[in-house]
Amino acid sequence: MTIDLPVDSILQRTMSSASSLPLIQRALKQGDRLAIIDGVGRFRYTDLLTAADRITGYLLKSQPDLGEARVAFMVPPSLEYAAVQWGIWQAGGVAVPLCPSHPLPEIEHIIRDTKAEVVVSHPDYASLLRSLSRGLKVRFLLTSEVSKAKKCPVPEITLDRRAMILYTSGTTSKPKGVVTTHRNILAQITSLIEAWEWTADDHVLHVLPLHHTHGIVNVLLCALWAGAACEMLPQFDAKAVWSRFVHSDLTLFMAVPTIYIKLIAAWEKATREEQQVLSNACSKMRLMVSGSAALPAAVFERWKAISGHTLLERYGMTEIGMALSNPLHGERRPGFVGVPLPGVAVRLVDESARTLEDEGQAGEIQVRGPHVFLEYMGQPEATARAFRKDWFSTGDEAVVDKGSYRILGRRSVDIIKTGGDKVSALEIEEVLRNHPTIQECAVVGVKDQEWGERVCAAVILRPNDSLSLGSLRNWAKERLAKPKVPAQLLLLDELPRNVMGKVNKLKLRKLFE
């Protein structure tokens, strides 16, 4: 016999006034502590939760649960950004952050690819997103209208439900939507909280884009999980960052290598007295982290001289969050990304997928653990191809030396097969950066009838310098094995980079082809 329960009583059992999500549960306990400082003001955890409740009410209307509907949103770095993200999660939706500086076709692709049902926009982006949403027949909401919404009961969200979709940087292949669950995000956060010893006394400066795992998980969500304060700048600006270093009570800073390069350039332009003030300001902080691309050894050294900080370099990717990190306490070696983070299993495999047991052998990094993503959006074959049983194949090559990993680069673009040898573009770039005329460089392999691939170097020269291929080759032959010596040189004013500062090697390769 089956008993038909009234729908209302079933709903009452699965709905409650406060979200079951651990991140929100923790925030409820933080009360009046400072959560976010943005261009508008200083906001407490209670302010964040109230703002998130309004978004939830606005999204749900009379529905009990968004049921993993995708909600794309474009909001600048601010309290409002976090409120929209949490509002979507409380309502049972999947958060899809959009990057304001992406070209329109890319934004449209994300809305279409995720089959987003709602687009939430800050008024600054309304003209762009309103007509796009109308064309795609997607519900359009403005954050400025949300204040009218009321708090409403929220559904219970189990940790295995989908939470977020981030698009890969697309610098080595077509961008794919990386779907993570609440459990994945929780594992990514707690691993970093433990490794880098985040506490409620931390105060982090946020200068990274908020459509990428680095800015979302490593900085914003770790800060909010810890009950710490997150100070957000609208975008990266070297002068503004130095000013915050001097005037804020920061304890943490996390950035990509290009940001450290720009901060060094700004420091070098300052007067002696100013430099002293800037350097002293860094000594107040407890940790500075670099990641998302290889940190050049010269930048590691220069930053140490300027700030007194030995940058902690870590390795991760959208699909896995962070996997490897130099130690918080202990030696941080330039050029190395350290050891597996808590809860993360890492191994290297050869081309026949055999695990490499010995140090010194180069192989592909595979990663396993609760932080690894669920699937690529709408691409079951690509998802299946990316896994060997439960090990995710990162597509990055590395080698281990004295227990610490050194990244050799992405298999698809950085591992160059030339005349039967396999060489690492990252290793060649590191050497070329020491040439007296070279300011910046990037190396790619380009198809070649004779060699399979030839090593090609794109170079930005220091002001008023010149360089010929012949003289570069003569210089390089004394420092690099023969197959690694560039066969082609291209002088550029700028390297093609994405908003994370990462060189787009597919675009660069086309310049040589």
Which residue's CB is nearer to ligand AMP, number 394 or number 418?
Answer: 394
Residue reference for tokens 């997928």? 353
Q: Is the dihedral of CA 75, 77, 83, 89 positive or negative?
A: positive
Are residues 343 and 369 in contact, defined by beta-carbon separation less than 8 angstroms?
A: yes
Stretch that binds ligand AMP, among 36-44, 53-61, 313-321, 350-358 (CB under 6 A): 313-321
Tell whether residue 317 is a contact of ligand AMP (CB under 6 A).
Answer: yes
Which residue's CB is nearer to ligand AMP, number 149 or number 324?
Answer: 324
Tell whether residue 292 is a contact of ligand AMP (CB under 6 A).
Answer: yes
Tell whether residue 73 is a contact of ligand AMP (CB under 6 A).
Answer: no
Are residues 457 and 489 in contact, defined by beta-carbon separation less than 8 angstroms?
A: yes
Tell whether residue 371 is a contact of ligand AMP (CB under 6 A).
Answer: no
User: From the CB of 430, what's the least distance to ligand AMP, in Å?
Assistant: 11
Rg for the chain, CA atoms, rounded = 24
Tell whether residue 315 is a contact of ligand AMP (CB under 6 A).
Answer: yes
Q: What is the DSSP letter of 497?
A: B
Report the alpha-carbon distance of residue 370 to residue 101 in Å, rounded. 32
Q: Comparing C-alpha atoms, which of 336, 332, 335, 359 is closest to residue 347?
A: 359
According to CB under 6 A, which residues from 201 to 230 bind ligand AMP?
Answer: 213
Are residues 495 and 456 in contact, defined by beta-carbon separation less than 8 angstroms?
A: no
User: From the CB of 346, what's the least distance to ligand AMP, in Å?
Assistant: 13
Tell whether residue 293 is a contact of ligand AMP (CB under 6 A).
Answer: yes
According to CB under 6 A, which residues from 385 to 404 bind ligand AMP?
Answer: 394, 396
User: From the CB of 467, what's the least distance to ligand AMP, in Å?
Assistant: 26
β-strand 287-290 against 312-317: which pairing, if any?
A: parallel
Are residues 323 and 340 in contact, defined by beta-carbon separation less than 8 angstroms?
A: yes
Cα separations in angstroms, 20 against 90, 155, 201, 225:
8, 8, 25, 14
User: From the CB of 257, what's the least distance to ligand AMP, in Å?
Assistant: 8
Stretch that binds ligand AMP, among 92-100, 300-308, 316-324, 349-357 (CB under 6 A): 316-324
Tell whether residue 318 is a contact of ligand AMP (CB under 6 A).
Answer: yes
According to CB under 6 A, which residues from 326 to 355 bind ligand AMP?
Answer: 337
Report the alpha-carbon distance of residue 82 to residue 111 in Å, rounded. 20
User: From the CB of 10, what's the least distance to ligand AMP, in Å?
Assistant: 41
Q: How many residues bind ligand AMP (CB under 6 A)?
A: 17
Interface ranges with ligand AMP (CB under 6 A): 168-169, 213, 291-294, 313, 315-318, 337, 394, 396, 407, 410
